[in-house]
Amino acid sequence: MSQPPRTITVTGAGGQIGYALLFRIASGAIYGQDTPVSLRLLEIPAGLRSAEGAALELTDCAFPLLRSVEVSDDADTAFAGADAALLVGARPRSAGMERGDLLEANAAIFGPQGAAIARSAGPDVRVVVVGNPANTNALIAAAHADGVPPGRFSAMTRLDHNRASGILAAHLAVPVSDIDGVTIWGNHSATQYPDITRATVGGASAIDLVDAEWIRERFIPRVAGRGAEIISVRGSSSVGSAASAAIDHLHDWVDGTPGTSWTSAAIVSDGSYGVPEGLVSSFPVRSVDGEWRIVDGIELDEFSRARIDASVAELIDEREQTRSLGLL
């Protein structure tokens, strides 16, 4: 039976990730094959023509589930009635920059968008921040969205989660579908902690299959530095993998995470695992009844504790910088 149509807003829809996202959303990758979708695309004036071009192409695909595509440079128009919002619109970094270096350029985008979401989006809106620095941008958006529960805001660390699963699978020469229970903790930055202490490979414990030195000296730096590796090899930051991870994140949020132990997402901390309440930090999460829930009861060894604390310290520092810019 056909489900009620869903409205999805994509900001930065005229950019690279936007272009990789739109066609998959329109073909049903988030809400499934029984749910029609309407797309609302937000761009700044300089990006409108590119978004309008993508809208023409979407029409040309004749996607059976696609009801409408609207393009706007007005945030309230673009977020009107949104069931989901993917906040992609922001400047990407180039070689030699850290994602935190984008704070000054990008953070100012997210307060007004959070406020527009509060005014105009649908009552059940779910927000995924992709634009960097994603965790802190989500913190800013949530802080400006009066009346929207903080649990409706998240930042994307699913790309890091997928990278960790993919790199571990490649190292062990197993299908990635054998990998379960990877966790990304902390910030979507070089300080993140990709943790395979609880991961399994075809049901066996991952740490029994790989040596500790490989994990510390190769695996963790490779996953945490993968964004920079892609920039150096491709010449610009990840696009297809980022769009794919954004689809995975939103799909699992609305549809649940059965069949896997958990996934990773950056959500507003409730104080779990010593992460100060209110920070947007990545955790092991399950989606139950459309809500992210932090998986509790994981025991952290000394190494894991120190890695998480270092990434959380960076999040605290980003929050301070944001305050000093007058954005919080």
Ligand X SMILES: O=C([O-])CC(=O)C(=O)O
Please write down the HEC assignment for all residues of 113-182.
HHHHHHHHCCCCCEEEECCCCHHHHHHHHHHHCCCCCHHHEEECCHHHHHHHHHHHHHHHCCCHHHEECC
**188 in catalytic set:** yes
Which candidate, 237, 242, 228, places its Cα nearest to that of 155?
242
Which candidate, 266, 283, 326, 309, places its Cα nearest to that of 133?
266
Binding mask 87-106 for ligand X (x = CB under 6 A): -----xx-----x-------
Count other C-beta atoms under 10 Å from residue 116's C-beta.
24
Residues of span 11-30 touching ligand NAI by CB under 6 A: 11-12, 14-18
For residue 224, the surrounding DSSP H or E stretch is helix 220-224
* 245 sits near ligand X (criterion: CB under 6 A): no
* 114 sits near ligand NAI (criterion: CB under 6 A): no
The residue type found at 28 is G
Nearer to ligand NAI, 82 or 130 (CB): 130
Among 57-65, 131-139, 176-184, 204-212, which window interacts with ligand NAI (CB under 6 A)? 131-139
Beta strands in 33-122 (DSSP E): 37-42, 66-72, 84-87
* 44 sits near ligand NAI (criterion: CB under 6 A): yes
Among 38-46, 234-242, 263-271, 300-308, which window interacts with ligand X (CB under 6 A)? 234-242
DSSP conformation class of 99: G
Which candidate, 245, 101, 275, 55, places its Cα nearest to that of 160?
245
* 161 sits near ligand X (criterion: CB under 6 A): no
Least distance in angstroms from the C-beta of 307 to ligand X: 18
The residue type found at 9 is T
* 284 sits near ligand NAI (criterion: CB under 6 A): no
Judge contact between 185 and 313, C-beta under 8 A. Answer: no
d(CA 84, CA 86): 7
* 192 sits near ligand X (criterion: CB under 6 A): no
Distance between start and end Cα atoms, the chain? 45
- Choose among ligand X, ligand NAI, none what residue 11 binds, the Cβ cut-off being 5 to 8 Å by kind: ligand NAI
Out of 144, 161, 171, 188, pick the active-site residue. 188
SS3 content of the chain, % helix, strand, coil (to 5): 45, 20, 35
* 42 sits near ligand NAI (criterion: CB under 6 A): yes
d(CA 83, CA 68): 15
* 227 sits near ligand X (criterion: CB under 6 A): yes
Of 50, 136, 238, 244, the residue at the interface with ligand X (CB under 6 A) is: 238
* 91 sits near ligand NAI (criterion: CB under 6 A): yes
- Choose among ligand X, ligand NAI, none what residue 230 binds, the Cβ cut-off being 5 to 8 Å by kind: ligand X
* 263 sits near ligand NAI (criterion: CB under 6 A): no
Binding residue positions: 12-18, 93, 99, 106, 113, 130-132, 163
Instruction: Indicate which residues carry an active-site annotation.
Output: 188
Contact residues toward ligand NAI (CB under 6 A) are 11-12, 14-18, 42-44, 46-47, 88-93, 109, 130-132, 134, 156, 159, 188, 237-239, 242
Contact residues toward ligand X (CB under 6 A) are 92-93, 99, 132, 159, 227, 230, 237-238, 242
